[in-house]
Amino acid sequence: MAMSFEEYCRDVFDPKKIFGKPEPLKGKRFLSCTQYILGPSCANYLAELGAEVIKIELPRRGEPMRHTTPFNEPKLYPLSKQMPEMGTGLGFFGANHNEYFLSVDFHKPEGQAIVKMLANKSDGVVENYRAGTFDRWGIGYRQLSQTNPRIIYQWLGGFGGWGPGRKRASYDILGQAQGGCFSVTGWPLDKGGNPSKQTIWIMDYWGGMMGAFQILACMYWRDNVSGLGNFMEYSQVQGAQRHLSDCIALYGRHGLVPQRWGNYDPLVSVHGIIKCGKSSYPNSKNPQELEEGFILVSAYKDADFAKLMKLITRDDLAKKYATHDERIKAESQYEIYPAIEAWAKDKTKEQARDILTKEGINNQPVWNSKEVSNQEHFHLRGELEWLDDPTFGDVQSQGPAFHLSDSPPRHKWAFKPVGADNEYILGKLCGFSKTKMAELEADAVI
């Protein structure tokens, strides 16, 4: 074959060619009646695939996530055309790409009528208000499916819409905490560690992905099998249990409660993250860069492990722990990893990487967000991109989570101000006149 496999992949997945290819969900319409991350991200994944996603927020101030940003610092302006002096916090960043922004007050009957009108013309609704709220307002699945039986209604939340805990509110870290994720993350007590949060709302974003998958699967079934919509629910804490199934099986079979094992690995050894003694940027003024480096070292096969031990001049350990069964024991790991750290004490993570790579030992330096942002690899593949956003200018954004050769997902804009698409959506789908819209705006319905 003329083209190498690498060239072939680069050709079919090239992010520069994405806008010359069709969108897989073109012509599908979803309403996103969502806030924070769990619901919004779910709808966002559909918007990346080309669905017309209409995000409905409360008028003027928008949803609460617009008002969250690290240390209250970075924001993009304006929040809405009425509030140019206020900005949207970057917490809103990852969950609202490509959407159309409509402002509607759900609490008002006129607002509920608009939602109904839109839902009748949509393939689905993504919603994450407290379970039962939309049903009470007359815009839940029971009511919407009367007029649109093909509607796919995805509710996402914490503890689910039924069961003794159904009334409990939930957030990402509550899902992590009560789902069991904290209990297995972080250093064990004897190493001075606590149960630890995983950064950045992961149960929300990952939960949104699960929801999006469920919607796509249901759409396949609707369009190819039944012609019927569906009422679906995704519980964030349940997602954690689905995740931790191996820990749960261990408890179920043996009564063992998996604990934290820090940056080592309970199942594979050597396969852990160790500290290098030196910072890669000793002259930086940013404390983040003055921190010592860390690197993942992976040498779990016997031959690789022997090679690694030879490299750090600890052949004695190679002999002592010649088999994986020996290496994987807790005591062994407590001896092996400090020995590797002793070797790395006078090195930066790059120096350690170069030596390990030369010896053919798998490794990966722990990169911070600046180092990741500057990797050619991620920009070349479109996993990070400088987005020429029509509203906010030159912003760096994450790309889609996966690549498709023929009908790829894509990002067109990061997000828009509150109500930016009111005229477009209400004119196109509800047939409202300009006068009618002005009235609704004056009454704070939109």
Partner 1 sequence: MKKLAAHADVIIENAPPGQWDEWGIGYRQLSQLNPRLVYAWVGQLGQWGPLKDKPGNLDPTAQAACGFVHGTGAPVAFGGTPTRSGWWMCDQVGGTGAAIGIMTALNYREEVSGRGQFVEATGAAGVIRILDYNWGWYGVDGSIRPRYGNWDLAINIYAVNPCKDGQIMVGGGHDRLWYRIWRTVGKDKPEVEQHIVEDPALKEVTARLPHYKQVETYTSLCEWMKDNTRSEAETKLQAEEVASGGVSFIDEVCEFPHYKYRGHLEIIDDVNYGKVLIGASAFLGQRTPGRVKWIGRPIGQDNEDVYRRLLGFTKADMDNLKAKGVI
Partner 2 sequence: MAEVSYKHCSLMFECPKCSVINYMDPFSFWNFKGKTKCAGCDAIYAVEYSNGQRVKGPDPAQGPHDKLPGYAQSKDYKTEYTMTGKVSPPLYARAPDQKHGPTYSNVRGKPVAAGKLTAADLVGSRARFIVEGKPYKPAG
Q: Does 282 bind partner 1 (CB under 8 A)?
A: no
Q: How many other CB atoms are there within 10 angstroms of residue 323's CB atom? A: 9
User: 164 or 282: whose CB is closer to partner 1?
Assistant: 164
Distance, in Å, from the CA atom of 213 to the CA atom of 324, rounded to the nearest integer, reads 37
User: 402 or 424: whose CB is closer to partner 1?
Assistant: 402
User: 299 or 445: whose CB is closer to partner 1?
Assistant: 299
Q: How many other CB atoms are there within 10 angstroms of residue 178's CB atom? A: 17
Q: Does 338 bind partner 2 (CB under 8 A)?
A: no
Of 367, 341, 173, residue with least CA distance to 270: 341
> Which one of partner 2, partner 1, none interacts with residue 179, CB within 5 to 8 A by kind?
partner 1
Instruction: State the minimum distance, in angstroms, from the CB of residue 240 to partner 1.
Output: 8
> Which one of partner 2, partner 1, none interacts with residue 81, CB within 5 to 8 A by kind?
partner 2
**Three-class SS state of 202:** helix
Burial class (CB in 10 A: 0-12, 13-18, 19+), 369: exposed
> Which one of partner 2, partner 1, none interacts with residue 311, CB within 5 to 8 A by kind?
none
Part of the chain binding partner 2 (CB under 8 A), chosen from 153-161, 202-210, 259-267, 385-393: 385-393
Judged by CB under 8 A, the residue of 109, 252, 360, 390 near partner 2 is: 390
Part of the chain binding partner 1 (CB under 8 A), chosen from 169-177, 318-326, 336-344, 437-445: 169-177
> Which one of partner 1, partner 2, none interacts with residue 416, CB within 5 to 8 A by kind?
partner 2
- Which secondary-structure segment (H or E) carries 32? strand 29-33
Q: Token pair for residue 139? A: 């815009």
Q: How many other CB atoms are there within 10 angstroms of residue 64's CB atom? A: 14
User: 189 or 438: whose CB is closer to partner 1?
Assistant: 189
Instruction: Give the pairing of strands 384-389 and 271-275.
Output: unpaired
Judged by CB under 8 A, the residue of 386, 402, 405, 443 near partner 2 is: 386
Q: Of residues 371-430, which lie at the interface with partner 1 (CB under 8 A)?
A: 371-373, 375-378, 380-381, 383-384, 386, 394-407, 409, 414
Part of the chain binding partner 2 (CB under 8 A), chosen from 300-308, 311-319, 357-365, 394-402: 394-402
Instruction: State the minimum distance, in angstroms, from the CB of residue 252 to partner 1.
Output: 2
Q: Of residues 418-437, which lie at the interface with partner 2 (CB under 8 A)?
A: 419-420
Of 262, 99, 263, residue with least CA distance to 193: 262
Of 339, 276, 275, 274, residue with least CA distance to 313: 339
Q: Does 149 bind partner 1 (CB under 8 A)?
A: no
Q: Does 189 bind partner 1 (CB under 8 A)?
A: no
Q: Does 366 bind partner 1 (CB under 8 A)?
A: yes
Distance, in Å, from the CA atom of 266 to the CA atom of 263, rounded to the nearest integer, reads 10
Judged by CB under 8 A, the residue of 238, 263, 391, 398 near partner 2 is: 391
Judged by CB under 8 A, the residue of 16, 253, 254, 285 near partner 2 is: 285
Q: Show Cβ contacts of residue 58 under 8 Å, excluding neighbours closer than 6 positions.
A: 103, 104, 105, 106
8 Å CB contact between 274 and 349: no
Q: Of residues 55-114, which lie at the interface with partner 1 (CB under 8 A)?
A: 64, 67-74, 89-91, 93-95
Tell me whether the omega of the peptide bond preceding residue 270 falls within 30 degrees of 0, making it cis: yes
Distance, in Å, from the CA atom of 235 to the CA atom of 69, rounded to the nearest integer, reads 26
Instruction: Give the pairing of strands 230-235 and 271-275.
Output: unpaired
- Output the CA torsion sign for 136, 138, 140, 146: positive
Q: Does 9 bind partner 1 (CB under 8 A)?
A: yes
Q: Does 163 bind partner 1 (CB under 8 A)?
A: yes
Distance of CA 21 to the CA centre of its chain: 25
User: 388 or 443: whose CB is closer to partner 2?
Assistant: 388
Q: Does 364 bind partner 1 (CB under 8 A)?
A: yes
**Three-class SS state of 318:** helix
Distance, in Å, from the CA atom of 245 to the CA atom of 416, rounded to the nearest integer, reads 39
8 Å CB contact between 196 and 182: yes
Distance of CA 177 to the CA centre of its chain: 18
Q: Of residues 64-103, which lie at the interface with partner 2 (CB under 8 A)?
A: 70-71, 73-78, 80-81, 84-87
What amino acid is encoded at 306 in this protein? A
> Which one of partner 2, partner 1, none interacts with residue 390, CB within 5 to 8 A by kind?
partner 2
Q: Of residues 13-32, which lie at the interface with partner 1 (CB under 8 A)?
A: 13, 22, 24-25
Q: Give the total of residues touching partner 1 (CB under 8 A).
A: 165
Judged by CB under 8 A, the residue of 143, 185, 279, 351 near partner 1 is: 185
**∠ CA(187), CA(189), CA(193), 5° rounding?**
40
Q: Give the total of residues touching partner 2 (CB under 8 A).
A: 33
Binding site for partner 2 (CB under 8 A): 70-71, 73-78, 80-81, 84-87, 194, 284-288, 386, 389-396, 416-417, 419-420
